[in-house]
Amino acid sequence: MSNNLLGARGARRFLKEFWQKKPLLARGVLPQLAAALDRARVIELACRDDVESRLVIGSRTTWRVEHGPFRRRDFAQLPPRNWTLLVNGVENLVPAARELQQRFSFIPYARHDDVMVSYAAPGGGVGPHFDSYDVFLLQGAGTRRWQVSAQRDLALLDAAPLKILRRFRPQRVWTVASGDLLYLPPRYAHHGVAISDCITWSIGMRAPGRQEMAARFLEYLHDHLQLDGGYRDPGLRPQRHPAAFGSAMLRQVRAMVDSIRWRDADIARCLGEYLTEPRPNVVFGHARRMPAARFARAAGVRGLRLDPKSRMLFSGRMVFINGETATPDAAARQALRELADRRCLPPAARLDAAARDLLYQWYRAGYIELDGTRPA
């Protein structure tokens, strides 16, 4: 498998000319993806209680949204047209989706969110809308018509179950077939309608909002902040209005707040834990019991790989996995960074005792697994 869909030269050009600037339509990028999923498999995923799924029925200004998990008989009662089934987080369950996500490694993993797959009957879609993040839309099976617009009017319909644009004025229209890739920058209006039964893969790139990130950092400070001392007023005198607090108290409390300090390492740790935090419906299964020495021998023969649901990043001396922080020594960091970049470690990887101990903890937690493609 190539490192990415565009190749090194194409990736550089894309980032320079298109990323967060304007749409790109690339024809025939990955036609073999058409066989990766079919309607039956998408419905099977939507029936699982550990998967986030939605069913969108309607068109124009009349819409209905139902949330999974579903039952198979729910789909036997649907009309032949104008409905879409959406399933989030398929990279955790479908190997082809995980491989697809890794093909976008020219975008840092810190920006990766999830892979969503949609099955649409003819006429199916989710209405004209915009996303607040970058998105790649890769056509699997079937054909779809995309209308896109750089319009500034992003007002939404009132009381609609979806965020649908009140006024959509398409500027470009494309019909896409299996293997075609459409990239859209944030807040770029678009409307996709299935021409035939079709499957579309949506590779979303997360973009934390300023309010969201600030709130998360304040939570981090709440959990880690340690300040000594307290309010004191030994020179207190009687005051005319007992319900009022004066400027002296305000100055002292403001000084308390102004004394709060943090370092770049605090921001990095908060960000790393935030970006690797699993989705709410993700559950890790604990590995079967295995003594640490036996695990080390097996890892040396078979190698290791991240559980498909695991998220792993690093910054400086810190390594983050599934919302947790580790600060391994320099010798261990090299191997752990390789695991984060490649999502696997080959057999006979050079691991010191600290790395082996940490990997064993992660194995017991279900974050990593022995590579099942190699015999023990």
Structure confidence by residue, pLDDT tens digits, 284-315 = 988 888 999 999 999 999 999 999 999 999 99
Residue range 343-360, pLDDT digits in tens: 999 997 888 899 999 999
Residue 143 phi/psi, 5-degree rounding, is -130, 150
Residue 253 vs residue 61, higher pLDDT:
253
Residues 6+ apart with CB under 8 A from 51: 45, 68, 69, 87, 88, 89, 93, 281
Percent of the chain with pLDDT over 70: 98
Confirm if 158 and 97 have CB atoms less than 8 A apart: no
pLDDT, position 376:
46
Single pTM value for the model: 0.90
pLDDT in tens, 81-92: 999 999 999 999
Residue 218 in this model has a pLDDT that exceeds 80: yes
> What 3-state DSSP class applies to 174?
strand
pLDDT in tens, 35-50: 899 999 999 999 999 9
Q: Is the peptide bond before 80 cis (omega within 30 degrees of 0)?
A: no
Tell me: the pLDDT tens digits for 223-238? Answer: 998 888 899 999 899 9
In the chain, count H helices and then E strands: 10, 17
Give the three-state DSSP class for 304.
Answer: strand
Cα separation, 125 vs 127, in Å, equals 6
